[in-house]
Structure 1
Amino acid sequence: MATTRQGPYFCGIDAAMDVVSGKWKVLILWELHHHGTRRFAELRRGLPGVSEKMLVQHLRELEEDGLVHRKVYAEVPPKVEYRLTEHGVALNTALEPLGTWGTERMRRIGATKVPVAPAPVSRQPS
């Protein structure tokens, strides 16, 4: 796996934080983990507040780090899909306890959740 980030690192947490640093990366991983393969617009709708520029930048970095696979279809209009790699799934598994801790913290401090638009229902041809 080719990546520009190769340490040196102080410890494993340092190496992990290097990969997930940035407000949106962990949320992109979560979105792909919970909704499966997504197109760019679907990811953007699922992450309220992310700019197109930041989403593009973070997706490129996640792809470079081997966490996200980008598949481009040769069709017009262009179609691109993103999905987690095996390495991305493993990172999400490691992040799940952090999400549980965060949910408990939200409950404890009375924080509210940002409303997220529901995923569009795919229509099957009749």
Structure 2
Amino acid sequence: MNTKDSTCVPEGINIKDTGFGYTLSLISGKYKMIIMYYLSEHKIMRHNALKRSIGTISFKTLSMMLKDLEENGLILRKEYPQIPPKVEYSLTPRGLSLIPILDAMCQWGNANKEPN
């Protein structure tokens, strides 16, 4: 990718002003990629199911991550008007378009992981 004619981070340009920086701003953080991965695997999940799957995340942190992902158009929050309230999360087409990137990261990690 880093050829003389084309680079993801051109010289003299702040990384946050590039496509690379923009992508990182959407998926960076400890849990956003994990949330997206679980949603890609399960298609639709509720808040508590995500929390149980991740395990180490607090209720508040998960709520903030879901809100960020929704605001960035990567996940869809569907609320059902019933008692008790029911809310489901799924990936949007925009969120689904990032899954090949997450898959590539997984493949790279498997190929480069140090043996225990």
Give TM class, smaller chain.
Answer: 0.7 to 0.9
Corresponding residue for residue 48 of structure 2: 41
Matched, 1:50 2:60: no
- Aligned counterparts, 1:46-125, within 5 A: 46-106=53-113, 108-110=114-116
Larger radius of gyration: 2
Displaced runs of 4 or more, over 4 A? none
SS of equivalent to 2:106: helix
In structure 2, the gaps of 5 or more residues are: 1-14
Q: How many residues align?
A: 103
RMSD, matched Cα: 1.7
TM-score, normalised to structure 2, is: 0.82
TM-score, normalised to structure 1, is: 0.76
SS of equivalent to 1:14: helix
Percent of aligned positions that are identical = 35
In structure 1, the gaps of 5 or more residues are: 1-7, 111-126
